[in-house]
Chain A
C-alpha cells in the first residue's frame, strides 16, 4: 500500500492499494490556511482507518506542487520525515498529475490544462494528454497571469483540491511502467519574494 500526502492546495492524505486500484483510506480538507495544524490528525486518521502500521506501507507519495509555498512545504516536510521514520521509499510527484488522473478516471480522453491558484493574481498550470491508458504531462508545470495562459485550445480544468488517492495511483502507474516521477524538489516556480536593501537612508533631515 502507498501513502500519499499533498498540501499544494488544501491537505489531502490517502492510502491506496495499487494492486487493486482501490482507495483504502482518504482524509482531506480544502482549508488552505491550516496545513500544519491538520497534517498530523489526517495522517493518524488515515493510518487508523486503513488499519496499517507505518512500517508495513510500501512507500510515500508526495505532491511537490506547484502550490502556495507555506502550505506546500508542510506536506513535503511531513512526507520526507514519515518516509525516513518508517523506512520507506519516497515518490515525489507533480501535484496536478492527480487532477489529470481524476479526469481520466471520469472517462475523459481529451487534452486538458489543469489550473490551480498561485496567489498574487497568478495561476499554476500543467498540460495533459488523456488519450492513452494513463495521463501524460506534455507541458508545464508553469506559472502565468490568468489571461496569459498558454494552450488555449486545451480544455481548462480548474482545481481547488488535489485528490491524494489519485496522486498515489498516478505514482503507482508511473512506477509500474518504469517511468520517471518528479524530482525531489519543491516546485516553487517563483524566486523568494525579497527586496534587496536599498542604500542607507539618512535619518537627519
Chain B
C-alpha cells in the first residue's frame, strides 16, 4: 500500500445520506452523495427503515459513480474506510456489510472509523478550486491542533476537543435531547413549514427581528455550568416557541412568522456559538472548526465568523459539500490513519449506534 499518499474509498451511511468519496492522501478526488431526504419529507423527519432501504439501493451506484468521478478503478484503491458509528443502527449496517465485502473482493484492508471524527477529518482535504466556489471557507491553510470542533446536524450536536485527529479526541459536550437540526425541523413543523426545517426557517426569517422574542438558551444558566457546561438542550426551546405561538393564536392575533423564525434561529445559533467559544477560551485553544449539515445555515456561519473574530479565534468551515454527511470525510480520516501508520481494522467490527468519539478507529 502507498502509505504516504493512499488512495482511499470511504463509505458513509449513518443517517439519510449514502456517501461514497475517494481521496488520495489529503486530496479530494470525488464525493458522491445520494440522499433519501425527499422520501422522509412527508414524515417530517428521518425514518430509519426508509433510510436503510434507500442506502441499500444507492450503495453500488454511488460506488460506481464515485470511481468514475475520481477517474480511478477499484484495483487502484489502497484501502476502504467505513463509518462504524455513531448513527442509525440499521443504516450503518448497510455500509458496514457493503464495505467489508468490497474490501475482501478487492483484497485490500479496511478501516472502520468514527462518524463524528470524520466530520473533523473533512477539514484536512484539499479541494480543487472549482468545488469551493460559493463556500465560506475562511482559512485555506492547514488545520492545526488542538482545535475545538462544533458538529451540528439533524442527528448530532457535539462539541469536541481535538488534540490529534487520529489519536486524541475528547467529547466536551453533546445534546441531551434533540439535535439542533431536529429542533429546526420540529419548529418548522409547528410553524406550518415543510421538512427539512433549516432552509425553511432561514427563508421565513428573512426580514425578521432576531431580538423580537427572547427565547430560552438551553443549559446556559449559571446553575447548568457544573454538570452541563458544554452540553446542549433544544427541546425546551421548541416548547417555548410552541407556547408563544399558541398564546398568539389563542388571542386571535397574527403570528409574526419572520420574527418568530428569526428569534428561534438566533436562540439556537447563540447557544451553539457561545458554548463553542467558551470552550475555546477555557481550554486556551484559539481555533474552532464547524461541521455537520446545520453549518449550511447562513446565520450559523455569519454569527460564528463575527464572534470568532471578536474572540480572536481562527474559524474553519470546510466547503458545505464536506460539512453535510459524506463519504469523502470518512475516506479522509481513513487516509490520515494510514499515513499515521495505524493498522487496519479486523473484520469483526459492527455498527455501533452510540460509538463514543474517543473511539476514532474501531476493530
Contact = CB atoms under 8 A, between A and B. Distances in A.
Pairing of A with B: yes
Interface of A: 5, 7, 34-41, 43-44, 47, 53-54, 69-70, 73-86, 186, 188, 192-194, 196-197, 200, 202-204
A192 B97 contact: no
Contacts of B247: 204
Given A196-B43, A197-B44, A197-B189, A39 B100 contact: yes
Nearest to B43: A194
Nearest to A53: B107
Contacts of A186: 53, 56
B90 A69 contact: yes
A124 B44 CA distance: 31
Given A36-B96, A194-B49, A85 B246 contact: no
Interface stretch (B124-132, B269-277, B345-353): B345-353
Contacts of B351: 36
* Overall SS of chain A's interface: helix
Contact of A84 (B63, B100, B104, B107): B63
Contact of A192 (B50, B92, B189, B347): B50
A196 B40 CA distance: 10
Contact of A47 (B47, B104, B189, B350): B104
A86 B105 contact: yes
Contacts of A34: 350
The 7 A-B pairs with the shortest beta carbon distances in the complex, nearest first, are A85-B105, A40-B347, A40-B100, A78-B101, A74-B97, A81-B102, A192-B49
Given A41-B348, A186-B56, A204-B246, A85 B90 contact: no
> B interface, how many residues as a size bin?
35 or more
Interface of B: 42-45, 47, 49-50, 52-53, 55-56, 59-60, 63-64, 74, 89-90, 92-107, 110, 189-190, 239, 242-243, 246-247, 250, 347-351
A117 to B, nearest CB: 18
A85 B101 contact: yes
Contact of A200 (B45, B189, B349): B189
Contacts of A84: 60, 63-64, 74, 102, 105
Contacts of B98: 77-78, 80-81
B96 A74 contact: yes
B92 to A, nearest CB: 8
Contacts, number: 136
Contact of A43 (B42, B53, B60, B101): B101
A43 to B, nearest CB: 5
B102 A35 contact: no
22 contacts: A36-B93, A36-B351, A40-B100, A40-B104, A43-B101, A44-B104, A54-B107, A69-B90, A70-B52, A70-B90, A73-B55, A73-B97, A74-B94, A79-B101, A80-B59, A80-B60, A81-B99, A82-B102, A186-B53, A200-B189, A203-B239, A204-B246
Contacts of A188: 53
Given A78-B97, A197-B44, A73 B90 contact: yes
A70 to B, nearest CB: 5
B104 A43 contact: yes
A158 B108 CA distance: 39
A197 B45 CA distance: 9
Contacts of B103: 40, 85
A37 to B, nearest CB: 4
Nearest to B13: A77
Contacts of A80: 59-60, 98
A37 B59 CA distance: 19
A78 B95 CA distance: 9
A39 B97 CA distance: 7
B97 A36 contact: yes
A84 B99 CA distance: 12
Contacts of A193: 49
B93 A197 contact: no
Given A78-B101, A197-B43, A69 B60 contact: no
A81 B348 contact: no
A84 B103 CA distance: 11
Given A81-B60, A193-B49, A197-B44, A204 B243 contact: yes
Contact of B63 (A70, A78, A81, A202): A81
B246 A77 contact: no
Given A70-B93, A78-B97, A82-B105, A36 B350 contact: yes
Nearest to B96: A36
A1 to B, nearest CB: 15
B236 to A, nearest CB: 11
Contact of A203 (B74, B95, B242): B242
Nearest to B53: A192
Contact of A74 (B74, B93, B104, B107): B93
Given A41-B347, A69-B49, A82-B104, 13 more contacts: A36-B93, A36-B97, A37-B348, A38-B348, A40-B110, A54-B105, A54-B107, A70-B89, A78-B97, A81-B102, A194-B50, A197-B189, A204-B242
B45 to A, nearest CB: 8
